[in-house]
Structure 1
Amino acid sequence: MDYKQELITTIHDFGCDINELELKLIDLTKETKTVVLIPALYEEIKRPALHIIRQELGKCQFVQTVIICVYAKTIEEYRETVQFFQSLPQKTYILWENGQRITNILECLRAKDLDLMRYKGKGKAVWLGLGLATLAGEAIALHDADIITYDKSYPLKLLYPLVEKEFGIAFNKAYYARIGENSRNLNGRAVRLFVTPLLSALTDMFGYQNYLRYLNAFRYPLSGEFALNSDLALNIRIPANWGLEIGLLAEVYRNVAEKRISQIDLGIFDHKHQKIGKSTNEGLQKMCLDILRSLFRTLTETEQVIITRDHIHALRIKYRREAQDYTRQYSLDARFNGLSYDRHQEEVIIEIFQQVIGESGEYFFADPSGALIPDWTRALAVMPDLREQLQKAVDEDSQV
């Protein structure tokens, strides 16, 4: 059995009693309020995953508030989203992130020289949602809207280590096995074929760096499921590109002592899959490009590592060797477990990712600062009642 612990605390599932934990968590949440935050596109209410999530969330007596940050193109789409979540027993807020009322608030911020209008995508949704969530509760769990295998144990496992004050945890991240539920494939290509061998190659190149050791301690560093306390939510910058998950870990690294960080086992997990993409402007190629830019930036900021073009050339070579070695191990693991595994296709993807490394380096040299939304404490310094204004906008939108 796996008991392994590293730089951060790993909370294994050794057959924990979910029902017993649920009763304890319900009791604990009498004192500590909890929130589940879900960034979503309108289109996802048409897909099976979000129907499952809604059904399971309805069973979660330990969740007091649910916040959905939705991108809807029309008032009709927004209304349909509100109606979709009306059945939830919790207090539920539908934040229309691109609606006119929210846009007006952000325009006021821009007039005060804090321009958040230029940020798009999931990062903006997460930033807005966290502001509202910190008004509603102390422990905030965030997850995506496309989880096929979702059940009530997911928010329970994310929230419990934060709500149990004796643990002293400020940030808890999920890890899991990405196994296709129907096709029985070994999924998680961006982690398996890019991030894992990349971290090994970077460690070979730059030696012991605490930040690399920290990232290596996470078993699934790209998981979009995590929980954090409200104080941390107000003090971290949210990445506004496809490197959100790895960039968020960098912010946690800067703001939280390692002993207050944990990861927890969600078991077998699956969600919607990204395509590789035809260029570094789309799909997993875009994701990996932004991930590496975030890694370069954080190594420079926190570890005083100087990145040169010679490093980029060497990294491409080392990465490919490391990744090819991992494919042998993945192949054996998959075959033993009766999983589908196309080793040739995996090597083709590695060759594509190798090219991404070169382009990512050039982007980093051109703009080493990256795309980070300023933290909430700065926004509140500009507009102290900003969260209350968001709350009012959400309430007024819901009456439309």
Structure 2
Amino acid sequence: MTRPLESYRALFPVLQEQLYLNHAGVAPTSLRAAEAVRGWMDDLVYHGIKHERGWEAHCERVRGLAARLVNAEPGEVAFVRNTSHGLGLVAEGLDWKPGDEVAVASSLEYPSNVYPWQHLKDRGVSVREIEAPGGGITPEAVAAALTPRTRLVALSSVQFATGYRADLDAIGALCERAGVLFCVDGIQSIGCVPVDVKKSRIHFLSADSHKWMLGISGIGFLYVAKDVLPRLRPVLVGWRSTTDAWNFNRSHFELRPDAGKLEEGSAAYTGIYALGAALELLHEVGMDVIEARIRELLVRVEAGLSGLGCDVGPAPEHRAGILTFLPPVGEARALGNWLAERGVAYSLRRGRIRLSPHFYNLPEEMDRLVELVRTRL
């Protein structure tokens, strides 16, 4: 990638009015994504269904872009409405038996990665707690939670509240040795740092596009490793789930052998077109470049906040795109409200201010944030 990162700022007009540091919450989408959606809408408005084959072909290109982002095969990727939808398809689709256990850090995780597993109680499946007193899930904590009944380990690649980044490679290797399925909520890492589902031995990964992928709400993707696809029963089925989907003149119920069996009906074209433009942008910039830029920005803002006496975390070796802090005096909520009044987009999570810049943010913006905090203190 040789294009200056600053040149991409024009694609995000929100930067003209806000210091946007909330990509771990809801990110602004780009003019490219909006144009892609408008293009499809105009096609539908002016031409009706005339170009439907082209829409379908484009959806398959987007599927390929999503697969490439995580080093998967297109047949291992299904479009889903959101992260919860994908995780729910996994939770409800496996052939659980009474006595099975799912290892989850329920006290730490975002509810999307807790409730689907707790919902299995009436099927005799119990949730076994992964202890995470340090705000993150370590390989050692996962190992301590495993029992002969553990069927699956579910965790977030990056914890939403603390920003702690899990060692997916080490945990995936641990699960493989134990013969345990590995399911990842990837919404806080996909689009922020490189993720390789094969290298990390991940069986399932679900992520919505409205955060680091810079897409929109209501569309994301679910990765299912091809060796476990036969074990995942679709919760819902419809015409698109089958091998002869476009033949409406007969009933031929044979499920597709790939992840497409999890897509029961008509495609969400608006979301998929937006997702496609967002993924094209990420690939254009390059995930290695994006990761390096975000790391640079976090190092800069960490130094400035620490210099003011703020409690900052997580440590560099355990973070991806999130930095949280507490002011040395006063309440975080009061400081956050004051920052919001001055155009800073952030989140407050479990009592701490959470910052999450993306690749098009500037080092000078990190300095501006620090100066605002200094002024308030």
> TM-score by structure 1 length?
0.25
